[in-house]
Amino acid sequence: MSDKRENFRKLRKKVEDIFRNAPGCHDIEHTLRVLHNARLIAKSEKISDIAVVEAAALLHDIARPEEFDSGGKICHAIRGAEKSVKVLIECGFRDPDFIKKVSECVRKHRFRLRGPNKPDSIEEKIIYDADKLDSIGAVGVGRAFHFAGRLGAKLHNSKAVALSSPSYGNEDSAYREYLVKLRKVRKRMQTRAGAALAERRHKFMRRFFEELNFEIYGKK
């Protein structure tokens, strides 16, 4: 047990180092919020071994910096799954089954992936939901504006403009992120606990953008 705790201590330190200079929308604070969400959902799902969930939560975004630097050409989930194997071994983890489960959780946590990349095991579903919860609600709105600011995107734009614009551009506003992705999250949650938590956050987010549209355009 002491070795396991030491391995997790090393893992957290390794992840903190990876995100030392990361921007606020995908930094160590995001990772720790996902870890908190994962523990919360796992408690409701009553899984027997939470170690896979905790390790995957810490590692799920380790390739985010590479994806952003590539302008979205690199998939952080796929690259992260590959990197997580090496990081776990470096931190002292040796059980190949454990390492594979963690890596698969990382690979299958992304919103846009489907088919064989859709979460299957309960651990994979928990990590997927835990990450998605941090993308919606009040935190999700804040992160969307933060990301848009990094791109130099506009504060706001109309629905028509937002939906007709590409990602990583001047029109990639927080509202575009809401229309393209965030408003769909609640219906894609994989666990009962995750779905219940997502419903409250969705309602707040919808009200926020309705108010923003009203203040700017005079209509919702």
pLDDT band of 69, cuts 50, 70, 90? confident
Of 71, 86, 120, the domain-final residue? 120
Residues 20 and 83 in one domain: yes
Query: What CATH number does residue 39 fall under?
Result: 1.10.3210.10
Residues 94 and 48 in one domain: yes
Instruction: Tell me the mean pLDDT in the region 165-181.
Output: 94
Residues 114 and 139 in one domain: no
Sign of CA dihedral 166, 131, 87, 26: positive
pTM of this prediction? 0.87
Instruction: Tell me the mean pLDDT in the region 197-214.
Output: 97
The average confidence (pLDDT) of the chain is 91
**Residues 176, 157: Cα–Cα separation, whole Å:** 8
Res 105 pLDDT > 90: yes
Q: Does residue 127 belong to any structural domain of this protein?
A: no
Region for residue 20 given its phi and psi (left: phi exceeds 0; alpha: psi -120 to 50; beta: otherwise): alpha
Res 115 pLDDT > 80: no
